Structure formats: C-alpha cells, structure tokens
C-alpha cells in the first residue's frame, strides 16, 4: 500500500483534499467522477465508485436572452438535480451579474463555485445526496419556522417589537432547506438508488414535496404575521386575548410533524382533533365584541393569519396514509 501526504484546502465553506494522480489515472477518473468514502473513528478510506449514476452537467451560455434570468436559471438547475453548472461567455461576465451569481449560491445548500475566471464560472454540488436525510431536513424547516412563530406571537404582548423585523432573515434559512429538500426528492424520483437510501417509496417522496411546500409557505406567512403585529395599533387587552389562545400552538405543530415522519396515523388523527379545538377557540375570539361593527380590522387580520399558519401544519398531518387491513 502506497502512502501519500496531502494538505487540506478550503474552497468556499468546504475543505478539500487532492487525490494522487497515479491513483486517479489508474481508475480513469476525472473532475466529474464520483468516489465512495468510508469513515472510521480516526480514519477515512476512498474507493472508486463504479455504481454511481452519471453526473448531471448543465452549460449555460452567456449572455442570456433578454427574457431569461441568470439567478432563476441557476436555481432551476439546482432544483432539477444538476451536479455541475457551468457558465461560459465569449466576453467578460460583468461584475453585477457575478454578484448575483454569488448571492444565489448563498441560497443553495451544497453548491459552491469551484472554478472562475473572467469569462467562465463553474459551480458544483459538493454534498453526497445519499448521506442526507429528508426527514431531518423537514424537521429542521419546521423547527426554524416554529421558532419564528414563537417570537411573532410573543410580539403580541411584548413592549419591544424590534425582534419582529428580523424574522425575514430567518425565513431565508427555511427557504435554503426547502430548496435542498426539493432537490433531493426530485432526484429520488428518477434515481432508485437514492430513493432506497432514503427508504422512501414514490408516494412518500411526493408527500415530502407537498409537506416541504406547506412549511415554506408557513415561514412566509409568519413573516407576514410579524409585520402585521409590528404595525398593529391593537390594544394590549385585545392582543393578550389572541396571545392566550395561540401561545401553545407549537406543541400541536410538533405532533403534526411527528405523525408525518414516523408515520403514525393515530397520532395524526389525535393532532387533527386537537387542531379542531384550537380552531374553535380562535373562532370564538370573533365573538369577543358584542357588536360586529366594533371589531378592529387589525384583530380580524391577526386571527385570520394565525388560522392560516396553523392550517399549514394540519395539512401535513392529512398526508399520513391510513392503515388498511389486508
């Protein structure tokens, strides 16, 4: 066995190590080839992976037609599972477009610029999709969104509402996880090896796609809610009435996610039943005022937003398949 010493290099947020040229040539590998990596407690081994799917590569010719958008093209290619995205130009790529491309990378987990010159940019997905876990990504989306929800609802009774203006920044991470999950489940639909690694049937993959979309929408709705609360002129008394009803929704939302990921139909039924009681409490808030004409518009808007947000998590529980006796 021949030993080699290599120094780690940092590119973007990743650490890379070069492979010995003799070994690469012996296995007919090139820059788009995949290798299999196995880790031990204090060791790592790399072997030529002969059973990998072909690397998906997209070349984008620059400049684009007027109706096209470079960020949309890159994002679309990422979501479609392309491993390598190259932008080639016959002239210098303007600095403004380069900045747009770099900003788009911040939204795409695992995608890094690995080569760049005046007329060429090469991006590559550096994560091994088989080591990722759709369940964990979905739970992370839910956890971040629920953290946003807690801060937004606390804004109803807090004198300091400045935190509400930061929630849109946290929603960016929800969107990043959403893009990653959509990429994985789309890839799993066309790559049986990947679907097996995730232990998901085609119907499960589609359900994850729907669930991810519901959570992404929930994050957007919570940002909208936080803006309503920040700009609301509602009295502390009426804000407190809403808060007392919505403050514990996070516990219910976690039941929805647990029911979906296990999957547990009985837990889903229990959670849906609890949601109906939650909806009834929210609906009763509208009868707080004796005269409908006395109900402040801010009050109605906030109650509606809390109902809409809760429905996103409830719809996830509805995806849990019934268990039929054969």
50: pLDDT strictly greater than 60 = no
Strands (E), 90-206: 111-117, 120-125
Query: What is the CATH number for 239?
Result: 1.20.58.220
The Cα–Cα gap between 4 and 90 comes to 40
**H/E element holding 37?**
strand 35-39
Domain membership of residue 324 (yes or no) is no
Q: Are residues 113 and 166 in the same domain?
A: no
Number of domains in the chain: 3
Select from 125, 157, 178 the last residue of a domain: 125
Phi/psi at 143 (nearest 5 deg)? -65, -45
Give the whole-number percent of the chain exceeding pLDDT 90. 63
Residue 285 belongs to domain spanning: 130-317
- Could you tell me which of 311, 79, 319 has the C-alpha nearest to residue 218? 311
Distance CA 141, CA 223 (A): 14
Angle between helices 70-79 and 95-105 (to 10 degrees): 30
pLDDT at 324: 54
CA-CA-CA-CA dihedral for 97, 101, 102, 103, to nearest 10: 100
Same domain, residue pair 245 and 299 = yes
Among the three residues 99, 125, 151, which one is the final residue of a domain in this structure?
125
Q: What is the pTM of this model?
A: 0.80
Q: How far apart are CA 265 and CA 241, in angstroms?
A: 33
Determine contact, residues 61/79, Cβ cutoff 8 Å: no
Give me the sign of the Cα torsion angle 165, 166, 167, 169.
positive
Query: From CA 94, how far away is CA 98, in angstroms rounded?
Result: 6
* Predicted confidence (pLDDT) per residue in 194-219, tens digit: 888 888 888 888 899 999 999 999 99
**Among the listed residues 219, 213, 217, 199, the one whose alpha carbon sits nearest the alpha carbon of residue 262:** 199
- Alpha carbon of 11 to those of 42, 163, 258, 324: distances in Å? 23, 34, 37, 51
Answer yes or no: do 268 and 193 share one domain. Answer: yes
Q: Is the pLDDT of residue 64 over 60?
A: yes
For the segment 140-177, what is each residue's pLDDT rounded down to a tens digit? 999 999 999 999 999 999 999 999 999 999 999 999 99
């Amino acid at each position: 066995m021949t030993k080699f010493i290599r120094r780690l290099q940092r590119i973007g947020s990743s650490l890379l190590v070069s492979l010995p040229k003799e070994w690469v040539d012996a296995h007919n590998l090139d820059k788009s080839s995949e290798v299999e990596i196995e880790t031990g407690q204090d060791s790592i081994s790399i072997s030529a992976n002969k059973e990998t799917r072909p690397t998906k590569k997209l070349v984008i010719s620059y400049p684009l037609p007027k109706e096209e958008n470079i960020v949309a093209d890159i994002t679309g290619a990422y979501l479609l599972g392309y491993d390598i995205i190259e932008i080639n130009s016959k002239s210098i790529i303007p600095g403004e477009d380069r900045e747009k491309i770099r900003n788009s990378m911040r939204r795409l987990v695992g995608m890094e610029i690995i080569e760049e010159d005046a007329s060429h940019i090469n991006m590559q997905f550096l994560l091994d999709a088989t080591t990722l876990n759709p369940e964990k990504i979905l739970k992370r989306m839910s956890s971040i969104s629920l953290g946003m929800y807690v801060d937004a609802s606390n804004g109803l009774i807090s004198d300091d509402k400045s935190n509400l203006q930061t929630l849109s920044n946290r929603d960016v991470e929800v969107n990043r996880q959403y893009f990653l999950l959509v990429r994985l489940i789309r890839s799993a639909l066309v790559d049986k090896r990947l679907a097996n690694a995730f232990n998901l049937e085609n119907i499960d993959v589609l359900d994850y796609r729907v669930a991810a979309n519901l959570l992404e929408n929930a994050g957007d709705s919570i940002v909208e809610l936080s803006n309503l609360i920040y700009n609301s002129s509602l009295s502390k008394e009426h804000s407190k009435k809403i808060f007392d009803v919505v403050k514990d929704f996070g516990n219910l939302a976690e039941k929805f996610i647990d029911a979906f990921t296990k999957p547990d139909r009985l837990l889903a039924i229990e959670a849906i039943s609890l949601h109906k009681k939650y909806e009834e409490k929210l609906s009763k808030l509208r009868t707080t005022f004796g005269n409908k004409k006395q109900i402040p518009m801010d009050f109605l808007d906030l109650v509606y937003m809390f109902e809409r947000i809760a429905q996103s998590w409830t719809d996830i529980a509805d995806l849990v398949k019934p268990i039929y006796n054969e």
